[in-house]
């Protein structure tokens, strides 16, 4: 029930490998540490009950995010020039660019997803 004047948010539930009713060891390929499983469970909750927002991105986006963070962690002299990188950073034409985490987003707030229906 929403209370008039309260801001509400629709949230999609994700589950970690510890929360699913499957033996993670029996899943092939293995479940990664930062992998979440999307469910069809949706709730509408008061905005002030949300403690933090995380980024749940595709596996390919997650791999790119991790690779860019590893490159950024290198000493400046050891980093490849942007012209030499396999992909350009901040691609303007990528339709999901605005939904991706920024470079300085803590890794704890970024996970990849797998549909689990």
What is residue 75's predicted lDDT score, i.e. its pLDDT? Answer: 92
DSSP per position, the chain: -PPTT--EEEEEEEE-TTTSSS-GGGSSSPPPTTEEEEEEEEEEEEGGG-----EEE-HHHHHHHHHHHHHHHS-GGGSPPGGGSSS-TT-TT-TTGGGSPPTTS-GGGEEEEEE--
pTM above threshold 0.95 = no
* Predicted confidence pLDDT, tens digits, the chain (117 residues): 556 778 999 998 888 888 877 776 777 777 777 888 888 889 999 999 999 888 999 888 888 888 888 888 889 888 888 777 766 666 667 788 788 888 788 889 999 886 554
Please tell me the predicted confidence (pLDDT) of residue 117.
47
Tokens for 17?
């490998």
pLDDT score, position 6:
84
- Where are the chain's structural domains? 8-115
């Amino acid at each position: 029930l929403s209370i008039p004047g309260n801001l509400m948010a629709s949230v999609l539930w994700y589950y970690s490998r510890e929360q699913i009713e499957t033996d993670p060891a029996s899943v092939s390929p293995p479940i990664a540490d930062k992998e979440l499983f999307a469910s069809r469970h949706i709730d509408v909750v008061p905005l002030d009950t949300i403690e933090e927002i995380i980024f749940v991105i595709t596996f390919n986006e997650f791999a790119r995010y991790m690779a860019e963070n590893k490159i950024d962690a290198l000493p400046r002299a050891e980093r490849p020039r942007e012209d030499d990188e396999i992909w350009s950073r901040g691609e303007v034409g990528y339709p999901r660019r605005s939904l991706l985490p920024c470079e300085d987003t803590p890794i704890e707030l970024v996970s990849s997803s797998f549909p689990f229906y």
